[in-house]
Structure 1
């Protein structure tokens, strides 16, 4: 895909990337939110930085995403997420139980280093999405709210294969936990 396909601001603007990062950390730390994120990631292959971004867009910026805007955001970070973040996650998870010589104290230290690098890669992904947010070209906006965040989360989940989340009680529970975390962040 050419650089022209997804024009974004070169910089997210003063504090915008930091605001997104702080929001993502606060929501992820909410009661049950990390478990909800991991369930969506592992069972529906959800991109968690993208998920936290769409929640932030609604909760903090009042953006109501369209399916096309969701696709644009997903396309923007899809390769990075799959090739870098996903690869780091795979290595980190694999180091937990093997291959030989893992698990040892030395391989656990390596695993923690990979975990820190994975988190840095997710931060780069969120910074990239913050640049998209800085463009301010959105079809629909409203007052920032948990309801707008929920709208965006539903748009994101509808973009996934229907079998992944449709009618799944665990998916509905994950969504409820995430929206509660959005409402309860400090």
Structure 2
């Protein structure tokens, strides 16, 4: 029995030593895991902060894009409305011009157009074309402009005149239509500037 008891003590001693070694290893593993967890916690917090920071930057960038697009869209809509309003004003002005009486004020306008045309072309020897409404007004002014003749051909315009030198080398469109087209960009610019555009 003595050898059984020695064997038992040896086995118990081996079990006890193994148990202590396993417990020691487990304690070391636990400590190592806790250290790794503590280190990873700091690393995770830094990663979390980085992700949040990048997310905020991206959100700010998207917000600026959205606001920028909304501003641009708003400005575009405002420009379209301004342009539509300008076109309505031009349409009303054209209608008024079409319906205007060919009175003494209108005759003065045609006279100044003739003077301007002669200066522009550089010769009083001109052929004048006009529409059917203005033909009698132009005819009544011819005596003031020696060298000027009225063409039998009528042109399609709101009013005013087209002139050319008798040799055909110089032409000048001084119709109300042409004057309006020359002024449209300036009028548009002036109106747009009043709206801060």
Higher relative contact order (CA 8 A, sep 6+): 1
Fold-level similarity (TM above 0.5): no
Q: Give the TM-score normalised by structure 2.
A: 0.22
**Which one has the largest radius of gyration?**
2
Q: Give the TM-score normalised by structure 1.
A: 0.23
Give 1 or 2: higher strand fraction. Answer: 2
